[in-house]
Chains A and B, each alone.
Chain A
């Protein structure tokens, strides 16, 4: 009988998904720095090398450009690959391969060549890592035709989305959040998949819609709980994948509540929050009761100082305060 209430970490949920999929599909090969015997900088491949060995868990030097190109080339030739950039920041070393080669290959080849490669990276601010290790530029990938982009916010979603990502015909950019790796949640032991393009209603409410991604989902939930005590019923939505995007569930909620707030760890200008506001304007214009609001990180590089970084990134207090301003109108 399945243990429905088993609680494991976000990183272990990823390991479990990988183990299941690597057992199911013996063509899957995992490439990256420190992902072999070490089990990953974030313990994100813990124990896999012991089971699958050097052939399928391929440790590399520090050379993301080459490793990513090799992973894409192998995928083009019929081997499903995962390339772990470890920190999403380091994907910048390999960005030409991801954007120019992986994203374009299906189209450029008229659908004859697919590149089933999963580009994995962990984003976001954690423990004051400073400007080089804290970026959240997931919106850049979402702006590139040919890439699918997953942003799991819970251990449950990590497992279900990872397994779906490893059955996609083409490239997926799978972005976890560094500060979530040790978070815990209920993850069924049995197999399940979460379809791409299916948003999760984290909390139902009638007064406003809050959309948040990745770590911001937790902040949005906490803010919604605080607002509920003050008589404001916020509906919280996590898109889970931003490409493809569950436009229907998002717009249904906005039409219901008439108010939209987006919480985004990226800066607001040209970001994914702006995309969601544009969708609200296009699809829900007559239903909006207030101007939609973006609550984003300030447009500065991640500062090292804890005081400054906390000032930069959205907080529960900021969300609650901004929602109050909106509800007063």
Chain B
């Protein structure tokens, strides 16, 4: 990673990124707290540590563009513009949730925001996103589709078959791999000989780009180019964002059986929030301005909790609705 020089940064853009990343972080920490207190049903995979990827990518998207996400998808939903209260209400199984409580963490959909769903099946959203891009191309709507997935998906047949389709049909899709090094507990280096996801672009004759996934400006720039290229009919790009989850695979997994505490601590030094905050301060942004942003975000999440908690449960008699 190259050290960023404060003077060369678009401060306004970085501040916007910082605020959005903070929303994702505070949201997930709140979810963790609620979950640990037994308030939320089901189980959740938190996005803590990877915020720069969702925010860096989605900040380039138009409202009509589509995002297909993963099991670790709360951050993608928020970054695509789904209100925090609607996401949290879904985690709570409430009628005001994005799926009216029928989906939960891994099955939340908000097409009204271009959010085409989290997904409980690793790899499965990559063909779906590719199909979304086929639809966009045929309908000539100028939409771009972003397919998020972890490095755990890239050894699946779904990845290979989907990326191959995206490439051979020149579809307007950007494949964004969040390489957090572990598929649940399986280290990427134990799962494959080729640990460079970006290099796999060569296999499909499309550009493969590796980027520091903790550097929101770097992610933003890489995604900007790829999205521009896709929108102009230039076909897909594969972006590998090197990142790390600061928490376990799912809430309840300490995440230390297969990772050393040293490794976790080292990655936490590169917390995207801390890094961008420092950069903002170094570049002359006033501490008070940042504190105001912090308070604004805290308040936003508090309101989301109030909204979700105060919302109704679904009526038991509605269980048969929407099957077909």
Chain A residues engaging chain B, CB cutoff 8 angstroms: 27, 29, 55, 58, 60-61, 63, 65-79, 81, 96-97, 100-101, 104-113, 145-146, 148, 169-170
Contacts and interface: CB of A to CB of B under 8 A. Distances in A.
Nearest to A106: B322
Contacts of A107: 102, 322-323
Contacts of A101: 119, 121, 124, 128
B234 interface: no
A77 B127 contact: no
A155 to B, nearest CB: 27
Contacts of A76: 116, 128, 131-132
Interface string B88-103: 0000000000111111
Nearest to A66: B161
Interface in B53-76: 66, 68
A100 B121 contact: yes
Contact of A97 (B103, B124, B133, B322): B124
A110 B138 contact: no
Interface string B29-71: 0000000000000000000000000000000000000101000
Interface in B104-133: 107, 109-112, 116-117, 119-121, 124, 126-133
Given A65-B157, A65-B161, A77-B132, A112 B121 contact: no
Contacts of B68: 73
Pairs A-B, 7 closest by C-beta atoms? A69-B127, A73-B131, A66-B161, A73-B128, A109-B109, A111-B322, A110-B100
Interface in B231-287: none
Given A69-B124, A70-B165, A110-B102, A77 B131 contact: yes
Interface in B139-181: 139, 145, 157-158, 160-162, 164-165, 169
A65 B128 CA distance: 11
22 contacts: A29-B138, A66-B157, A66-B160, A67-B161, A68-B127, A69-B124, A69-B158, A69-B161, A70-B130, A70-B165, A75-B131, A75-B135, A76-B116, A79-B138, A97-B124, A101-B128, A104-B107, A106-B324, A108-B99, A109-B107, A112-B111, A113-B116
A77 B147 CA distance: 14
A63 B138 CA distance: 21
B223 interface: no
B107 to A, nearest CB: 4
Contacts of B107: 104, 108-109
Contacts of B126: 69
B109 A73 contact: no
A113 B117 contact: yes
Given A73-B68, A113-B109, A146-B324, A65 B131 contact: no
Contacts, number: 142
Interface string B309-324: 0000000000001111
B129 A73 contact: yes
B114 to A, nearest CB: 10
Interface of B: 66, 68, 98-103, 107, 109-112, 116-117, 119-121, 124, 126-136, 138-139, 145, 157-158, 160-162, 164-165, 169, 321-324
Contacts of B162: 66, 69-70
Contacts of A68: 127
A148 B109 CA distance: 22
Contacts of A78: 135, 139
Contacts of A97: 124, 127-128
Contacts of B323: 106-107, 145-146
Given A73-B134, A170-B324, 16 more contacts: A27-B138, A27-B139, A65-B127, A66-B157, A69-B158, A70-B162, A73-B127, A75-B131, A75-B135, A81-B131, A97-B124, A106-B324, A109-B322, A110-B103, A110-B109, A112-B109
Among B101, B133, B134, chain A packs the most CB atoms within 10 A around the CB of: B134
B129 A65 contact: no
A94 to B, nearest CB: 9
A96 B121 contact: yes
Nearest to B114: A77
A54 B130 CA distance: 18
A148 B124 CA distance: 22
A66 B324 contact: no
A72 B131 contact: yes
A106 B103 CA distance: 10
Given A65-B161, A77-B135, A79-B134, A109 B124 contact: no
Contact of B158 (A66, A109, A148): A66
